[in-house]
Amino acid sequence: MTSRTFLLAAAAGLTLQILPWGAWALNAQQWSEHSIYQVLTDRFALTNGSSADCWIRGYCGGTYEGIQNKLDYIQGMGFDAIWISPIIHNIEGNTTYGYAFHGYWGDDPYTLNPHFGSPDDLKNLSDALHSRNMSLMVDVVINHLAANQTPNSVNYSAFPSPFNSAAAFHPDCTIDYANQTSIEDCWLVDQQPPLLADIKSENSTVFDAMVRSVVQNVQDYAIDGIRLDTAKHVPKRFLSQFQEEVGVLVTGEALNESIAFASQYQSPLASVLNYPLFFTVTDPFVGRTTFDLLAATVEAEQVILPNINAVTNFLDNHDQPRLASRVGSDVIREMNAVTFLFFIPGIPIVYYGFEQRFDGGGDPDNREGMWTSGYDTNATLYKHIAQLNMLRKAAINSGDFLDSAATILLASDTHLAFQRGPLVVVVTNTGSGPSISEPDAAANGTLSDVMISQSSFPPKTTLTDLLSCEKTVTDAQGSFNSSNSQGGPRVWASSQWKTTLCS
């Protein structure tokens, strides 16, 4: 099947079997029913489950076996997929930016990174996930290989064939981010070690070898999906080839605030990371802006992106400051933001530690060791996310959710309300009350009820907020007051819907 028919089918929301290997690999439709928990392999758990005392830019000792031992913790929140760090061998030793603990400095696509465990350990993790009906997404880099060397002294012969010659790479140049050709051809890091030597994709010997190395890993470790690093640095025609040959869903990192820019990458790839949403989602929930721009983004993306259900949505990640670093002391703000994340179109991704209110800022502070949390399953956000995953699954299973658009009902300074299928979601940025003082919150503690009209709920219908189990009744016009819940989110449904919930 060509990538074009793949995409047309995916855009039409059809279930299709494009996957020659592994009963477990998933198509875009199946991925759209998932929610993903992102871990940095080195930072999630040691094999023996103890705490590491390590440098934030060094290896801490997290392993595949450590993750496997904590799958109850992850599945207990309701996630049915994990995204792990790149698995291939990386450069050793210290650099200007520390060690390669994150996995993005590969130097041998044919060998695994021994710091994370053995090939059997990775197979074991994959098997353990599949036996739980969970899926494995692996981070992959095809844009560059790394060298712990200084400019003009790269020892190309140290790379495995066919990467072992200067002809396999573009010549060293500094990226001009205003020039797409330069973004694609120049080196991501070119001034000091680690040098990130840009693969010459247009050399088919080289690019085919890179793609085959990934296909081999997809087969060997029964990988269900790929998060493709630095996708905007690879020409789109080669991304198309990559998507077609790996066969599993690829969600690409095209770091840019523009929806039009993102949409160019969801043609070659089945999915893109929703950076345009990321760039508009934080400010309103922190209370710094109104919900207008976020509402406009949600509406525009549903029109512009080729397959909104397959994009991957997130509030923070290993490259961006954690949301808790911006919301201050009030966990209610994260509860609102993550509720929004779970019900808008797309696949929700939660970055490990969000549920424990980790509050690291930019890289590397946002890459904390998970062990410091004690893996507390009683944490407020842990339990809230478990509830959101349960409700999202119930909505998906009702058959009237994934194919429904999110319709904005209200976007104000303090509230955002939208309907999607059987649910009306109401979120707010007021915080939990005037006693909480947030450093830069504009809408702070102004708790009020909000009138929701134009939903599809009929007049005189009893509604239940599935988060609190509180009830309300629509008036003769079908409008209702979404009462304030100490600044918390609401997920309203007809009380007749899934009557086992809140019964």
Ligand X SMILES: *[C@@H]1O[C@H](CO)[C@@H](O)[C@H](O)[C@H]1NC(C)=O
By rule CB under 6 A, what string of x and - marks binding of each residue 104-133 to ligand X?
A: ----------------xx--x--------x
Is the sign of the CA dihedral 144, 150, 155, 160 positive or negative?
negative
Figure out which of the listed residues 378, 458, 500, 503 binds ligand X, where binding follows CB under 6 A: 378
Least CB distance from residue 7 to ligand X, whole Å? Answer: 22
458 burial type by CB count under 10 A (0-12 exposed, 13-18 middle, 19+ buried): exposed
φ, ψ dihedrals at 298, nearest 5°: -60, -45
Query: Which of 232, 318 has the CB closer to ligand X?
Result: 232
Query: Which of 52, 501 has the CB closer to ligand X?
Result: 52
Task: Compute the C-alpha angle 498/417/419, nearest 5°.
Answer: 45
H helices within 269-322, ranges in order?
275-286, 292-304
- 471 near ligand X, judged by CB under 6 A: no
- 56 near ligand X, judged by CB under 6 A: no
- 167 near ligand X, judged by CB under 6 A: yes
User: Which among 462, 451, 461 is positioned nearest to 409, based on CA atoms?
Assistant: 451
Query: Which of 15, 157 has the CB closer to ligand X?
Result: 157
Least CB distance from residue 396 to ligand X, whole Å? Answer: 8
Helix axes 275-286, 292-304, angle to 10 degrees: 160
Query: Which of 50, 499 has the CB closer to ligand X?
Result: 50
Q: Where are the beta strands (DSSP E) in 57-97?
A: 81-84, 88-90
- 213 near ligand X, judged by CB under 6 A: no
User: Which among 157, 191, 156, 160 is positioned nearest to 170, based on CA atoms?
Assistant: 156
- 152 near ligand X, judged by CB under 6 A: no
Whether the Cβ atoms of residue 417 and residue 426 lie closer than 8 Å to each other: yes
Query: Which of 358, 382 has the CB closer to ligand X?
Result: 382
Figure out which of the listed residues 54, 76, 94, 329 binds ligand X, where binding follows CB under 6 A: 94
Distance of CA 183 to the CA centre of its chain: 23
Q: Hey, what amino acid is at 286?
A: V
Query: Which residue's entry shows tokens 């530690």?
Result: 353
Figure out which of the listed residues 5, 48, 192, 456 binds ligand X, where binding follows CB under 6 A: 48
Adjacency order of strands within the sheet including 462-465: 407-411, 415-420, 423-428, 490-494, 462-465, 471-473
Segment near ligand X (CB under 6 A); pick from 198-206, 216-224, 339-347, 421-429: 198-206
State the Cα–Cα distance between residues 357 and 374, nearest whole angstrom: 12
φ, ψ dihedrals at 196, nearest 5°: -110, 95
- 195 near ligand X, judged by CB under 6 A: no
CA distances from 383 to 86, 356, 456 (A): 29, 10, 29
Least CB distance from residue 499 to ligand X, whole Å? Answer: 21
DSSP annotation of 144:
E
Least CB distance from residue 44 to ligand X, whole Å? Answer: 14
Restricted to residues 286-315, the positions that interact with ligand X (CB under 6 A) are none
How many residues bind ligand X (CB under 6 A)? The answer is 48
By rule CB under 6 A, what string of x and - marks binding of each residue 435-454 to ligand X?
A: --x---x--xx---x-x---
Least CB distance from residue 159 to ligand X, whole Å? Answer: 9
Query: Which of 321, 445 has the CB closer to ligand X?
Result: 445
| 3-class secondary structure, 237 | helix
Whether the Cβ atoms of residue 73 and residue 37 lie closer than 8 Å to each other: no
By rule CB under 6 A, what string of x and - marks binding of each residue 251-290 to ligand X?
A: -----xxx--x-----------------------------
- First CA to last CA across the chain, in angstroms? 47
- 96 near ligand X, judged by CB under 6 A: yes
Segment near ligand X (CB under 6 A); pick from 153-161, 210-218, 243-251, 401-409: 153-161
Question: Among all residues, which ones are annotated catalytic?
Answer: 229, 253
Figure out which of the listed residues 61, 86, 276, 360 binds ligand X, where binding follows CB under 6 A: 61
- 174 near ligand X, judged by CB under 6 A: no
387 burial type by CB count under 10 A (0-12 exposed, 13-18 middle, 19+ buried): middle
Least CB distance from residue 133 to ligand X, whole Å? Answer: 4
- 468 near ligand X, judged by CB under 6 A: no
Q: Please report, as ranges, the residues that interact with ligand X according to CB under 6 A.
A: 33, 46, 48, 50, 55, 58, 61, 80, 94, 96, 98, 120-121, 124, 133, 155, 157-158, 162, 165, 167-168, 173, 177, 179, 181-182, 185-186, 203, 205-206, 256-258, 261, 378, 434, 437, 441, 444-445, 449, 451, 475, 479-481
